[in-house]
Structure 1
Amino acid sequence: MSEIEQQEPWRWSEEVWRGHVERVRAGRSLLPAAGPGRWPDGARVAVAISFDSDHETPALRDGETSPGRMAQGEYGARAAVPRILELLDRYEAPSSFYMPAVCALLRPDEAPTYVEHGHEVAVHGWIHERNTLLAHDDELDLLGRAMEVLESQTGVRPTGIRTPSWDFSDSTLDVVRELGFTYDSSLMADDDPYEILQDGERTGIVEIPVDWIRDDAPYLMMERFQSLRPYTPPREVGRIWRDEFDAAYAAGGVFQLTMHPHFIGHRSRLLVLDELLAHIRTHDDVWFATHADLAAHVAPGLTD
């Protein structure tokens, strides 16, 4: 950070604060034109379900290696993932799984199993690192190696990335472009896909936006020695997500959802996802898409 940027923000010149705002920005909307051809097979809405299979890595990243913390993460892979895959199979809902490379290395069969069930596997960092604490070269090295691990295990080179904790550094977009990703799913500037701009210039990168409203962690995360406690009953979370889907359906847009196996995969919580998918399936005109499929479908908008 320069000497100027170390000043109190109210002392910044317009050039400085405008530069921060414009570094990574939302460009043109990539929502296809309204009408029967917006989504495949005449669907009215696109549904993009995703899971961040973090398991033990958030604790490992912070140097928390107690057996208790490891067991909490292990639950996601051991108990939750099989339940989630069965549920997605039952509702014929292809989804996207974002996986830190360390998780893939701990269980080499997990990522291939996602692919066997018809799901996408995409990059989610090396050990759930915090990108804003990394230099460009370290971020490039970790994400490059993560991509190689997932490709070697699945036989498919990932096309998408979700940064760990949605932590997007000043270097992240450069790294995304250098590694050849076609889409990102870490930013929050819209409800529907858009093109990312860098310093006002078009990048050709599709953004599939996320939001904390459509994420299970803010509602269900628990930290024993901190003040972080679940404060929303799971069925209330389900009501919020159902309202989000209904609004996306009414608008003919995208309903995107992010979950974590070690949070949503508990029995009383997975019931909420079951009920949500059942509600979505009461509509005949729904397109369930992986994030990669969604990015590919809207990508022609980049050349319009």
Structure 2
Amino acid sequence: MAGEWGPDGADCAVAVTFDHLGEAAEIQLGSIAPDAPVGHHHSVTRELPALLAMLDEHSYSATFFVEAWNFRNYPDAVRAIAEAGHEVGWHGWLHEPWHRSSAAEIAESLRLSLDVFGELGVRPRGARPPAGLLGPHSVDVLAEHGFDYVSIAGTAFGTTLGSAARLPLLPYPWHAVDGAYYVPGFTRLRQPPGEEPVGPAGLLEGYAAIVDDTAAAGGCVGLIFHVPWQDSPDRVAAIGTLVDRLAADERVWLARADEIADWVRDHPADFPETAHTDRAPAW
């Protein structure tokens, strides 16, 4: 990896990103019925406003990867994210897991998504396939539908270019997901794996180690938070603490995901084309 990132030549690039909104993932998982009443999900009415206020206080423009279903069901929330100066990325239509989806299912997800992008007038540049894995599907599928970078799980601390489409692939390791610190069952994703949640202090410690490794490798990394899981003031405050620490770290270029992708694209000699292979979490 190149050792200089951003206008000040930092050792690494870091993006703080958010996933999920509304009932989309719950409908996909079957925990609520597809025809259940929607429109008042706590992630929209409570967590999202608190996060937007916190990010404004800490002067950071983040990336929110949102299921496109929300463009139709929570258009005001999607607009609020964009109007606050944050990037809106794509996280599937209804959080369908790409690595377990057929080509026809992926095509339908993209068709529905493109329709609502036009309706709302907000067009995501970046894609994060739900569950972070492409499975048998190519990065080229996303390029053909107008996306110009992809956020992928399983490739730690580097940034490569996709094969035919040459889309920047912005990585995150599994232990850079907040559930590894907060949610029972996900804690085995930590390094080293754990059995119990460790809370915001443990998350900050784990993310600090990830940033150290990323800086040593001269790469980039996405740090992931799920909007519905930021359901207490201490969790929201921890993100503010993280942003402040990253902004003050001379090794780090703290940027949005699209800004990092543009840097990769504008410096092709530093990022040779490399094929990507999904790597599922070690459960």
**TM-score normalized by structure 2?**
0.80
Distance in 2, matches of 1:264 and 1:246, equals 24
Structure 2 match to 1:22? none
Structure 2 match to 1:242? 208
Tell me: CA distance 1:266–1:104, structure 2 relative to 1, closer, same or farther (3 Å): farther
Q: Which residue, out of 141, 150, 157, partners 1:191?
A: 157
> Partner of 2:16: helix, strand, or coil?
strand
Tell me: CA distance 1:173–1:46, structure 2 relative to 1, closer, same or farther (3 Å): closer
- Amino acid of the residue matched to residue 171 of structure 1? H
Q: CA contact under 8 A between 2:159 and 2:169: conserved in structure 1?
A: yes
Q: Which residue, out of 225, 232, 235, partners 2:198?
A: 232
Kindly tell me the number of residue pairs found equivalent between the two proteins. Answer: 258
Tell me: CA distance 1:42–1:300, structure 2 relative to 1, closer, same or farther (3 Å): closer
Alignment of 1:168-187 (within 5 A): 168-187=134-153
TM-fit CA distance, 1:257: 0.5
TM-fit CA distance, 1:276: 1.6
Distance in 1, matches of 2:231 and 2:73, equals 19
Residue identity over aligned pairs, in percent, reads 25
> Partner of 1:207: helix, strand, or coil?
strand
Distance in 2, matches of 1:43 and 1:34, equals 7
TM-fit CA distance, 1:268: 2.4
Q: Which has the larger radius of gyration?
A: 1
> Partner of 1:208: helix, strand, or coil?
strand
Q: Which residue, out of 155, 174, 178, partners 1:212?
A: 174
Tell me: CA distance 1:92–1:103, structure 2 relative to 1, closer, same or farther (3 Å): same
Q: CA contact under 8 A between 1:147 and 1:158: conserved in structure 2?
A: no
Q: Which residue, out of 219, 225, 230, partners 1:259?
A: 225
Note the alpha carbon deviations across 1:31-64, whole angstroms, 9 max, x for none: 4x435xx312444442211100233122101222
Alignment of 1:58-207 (within 5 A): 58-65=25-32, 74-153=41-120, 155-197=121-163, 202-207=164-169
- Amino acid of the residue matched to residue 144 of structure 1? R
Distance in 1, matches of 2:10 and 2:143, equals 31
Q: CA contact under 8 A between 1:91 and 1:281: conserved in structure 2?
A: no
Note the alpha carbon deviations across 1:194-213, whole angstroms, 9 max, x for none: 1123xxxx431110011211
Which deviates more from structure 2 when the two are superposed, residues 98-107 or residues 278-287?
A: 278-287
Q: Which residue, out of 258, 267, 273, partners 2:239?
A: 273
Q: CA contact under 8 A between 1:139 and 1:175: conserved in structure 2?
A: no
> Partner of 2:142: helix, strand, or coil?
helix
Q: CA contact under 8 A between 1:215 and 1:258: conserved in structure 2?
A: yes
Q: Which residue, out of 183, 190, 215, partners 1:221?
A: 183
Distance in 1, matches of 2:37 and 2:133, equals 23
Unaligned regions of 5+ residues in structure 1, if any? Answer: 1-30, 224-228
Tell me: CA distance 1:299–1:265, structure 2 relative to 1, closer, same or farther (3 Å): farther
> RMSD between aligned alpha carbons?
2.7
> Partner of 1:241: helix, strand, or coil?
helix
Q: CA contact under 8 A between 1:122 and 1:160: conserved in structure 2?
A: yes
Distance in 2, matches of 1:230 and 1:293, equals 35
TM-fit CA distance, 1:105: 1.7
Distance in 2, matches of 1:49 and 1:151, equals 27
Distance in 2, matches of 1:180 and 1:86, equals 31
Which deviates more from structure 2 when the two are superposed, residues 129-138 or residues 103-112?
A: 129-138
1:300 matched to 2:262? The reply is: no
TM-fit CA distance, 1:214: 0.6
